[in-house]
Amino acid sequence: MHPEIPLTLCEVEVYSTWEHPQNTFPQQPLTYNYSSSSSTWSRDLILVHNQPKTWFEGQTYCREKYADLATISNVKDMNKVIDFINQDVSNLWIGLYEDGVIWRWSLSDKRYYADGEDKFRNWDSGEPDTKRGIQHCAGMQRTGEWKDLDCGLLNFFLCFDDRDGASENKILVETPMKWADAQHYCRQNHKDLLSVRNLAENQEFQSMVPAGKLAWIGLFGDSWKWSDASDSLFRYWGQGQLDNLGEGPNCAYANGRTWSVRSCNTKSMFLCYYFKRRYLVRISTDFDMSDPVIQQQLIKQLEAGMKSKGNSDVKIQWRMSGRSEK
């Protein structure tokens, strides 16, 4: 028995460094101190390839077993999807599906809008036209009316900046960009794409738009939505995929290196995502950590500690910061 470690009737743990094998007393477990620690959450993807399901069945399965069907937010995510397709399957469901168009502002902070201001619209006659198969984004004309446009068009755009020290509050950028690229630019360099909260603001901003031009504002509507309600506008459609959509319901799937659309009732493999937590812990100990026996012993102790806190799926890796450090 170890005097400081309670054991069950049929469980024995033995600790030894072999420094003093003649010692008649059990040696203590490795001792170490945590000097700093931090943790980060990340998402990872998992392929369900042995149970083909409809999009809705896959959604239910992912929500029960993991988090949800996969949301693809950037090129890095898409490269992971391509790796799955290259290795195992020819196509698979992702978490994107077609629904009715809902308009909202890029700046989602509700504190910026008084009651009803996030609902202000100043559409031109016949707008929005809710054309199927495109991403819908709003552009302001010199006359002040708004157009419902394909987000992939290149236009000037209006940013705003209410941060301390900002030299200007409203900025016209005369470099034509797609709406999503304009959004990224405004968020990186200012605050966001411009929100228009009332008629007085609309009249103020329209004078900034050059004659004969359009300028993106922060309003967008998308008939394609992610299963987990993510607001990601990242899309990777293959050419012509949205030209002839069926009556629906329509869902997106990864097909080779791009996305395609088909009936959600088709059975296919699918991608789920789950949350992964990574801990970074700095420890110090008086033992020689270059000894592989000591390393394995410490790994086992750390794994046991994590499992005792309910973390059963644990993988521990480390690197030494230098022989001069303990």
Residue 280: inside a domain, yes or no? no
Q: Identify whether 59 is part of a domain.
A: yes
Same-domain status, 45 and 114: yes
pLDDT of 166 reads: 67
Is 227 in the same domain as 318? no
| Full 3-state SS string of 215-270 | EEEEEEEEEEEECCCCCCCCCCECCCCCCCCCCCCEEEEEECCEEEEEECCCCEEE
Burial class of residue 69 in the structure, from the number of CB atoms within 10 Å of its CB (0-12 exposed, 13-18 middle, 19+ buried): buried
Same domain, 7 and 149: no
In a domain, 62, yes or no: yes
Beta bridge partners of 226: 96
Q: What is the pLDDT, as a whole number, of residue 1?
A: 43
Give the other-Cβ count within 10 Å of 300's Cβ.
14
Q: Are residues 87 and 224 in the same domain?
A: yes
Q: What is the pLDDT of residue 294?
A: 79
Domain that holds residue 69: 41-274
**Which portions of the chain are predicted below pLDDT 70?**
1-41, 88, 130, 132-133, 165-167, 243-247, 277-280, 309-315, 317-318, 320-326
From CA 21, how far away is CA 8, in angstroms rounded?
Answer: 26
Is 232 found in the same domain as 179? yes
183 and 217 in a single domain? The answer is yes
Single-letter amino acid, residue 301: Q
Residue 230 lies in a domain: yes
Same domain, 72 and 11: no
> Please, are residues 48 and 272 in contact by the beta-carbon 8 Å criterion?
yes
313 and 220 inside one domain: no
The answer to whether position 279 is within a domain reads no
pLDDT value at residue 283: 72
Stated as kind and residue range, the H or E segment containing 293 is: helix 292-308
Burial 150-177 (b: 16+ CB within 10 A, else e): ebeeebbbbbbbeeeeeeeeebbbeeeb
DSSP-assigned beta bridge partners for residue 221: 103, 136
Tell me how many domains the chain contains: 2
Can you give the CATH number for the domain in which 229 is found? 3.10.100.10
Place of tokens 């302001």: 140
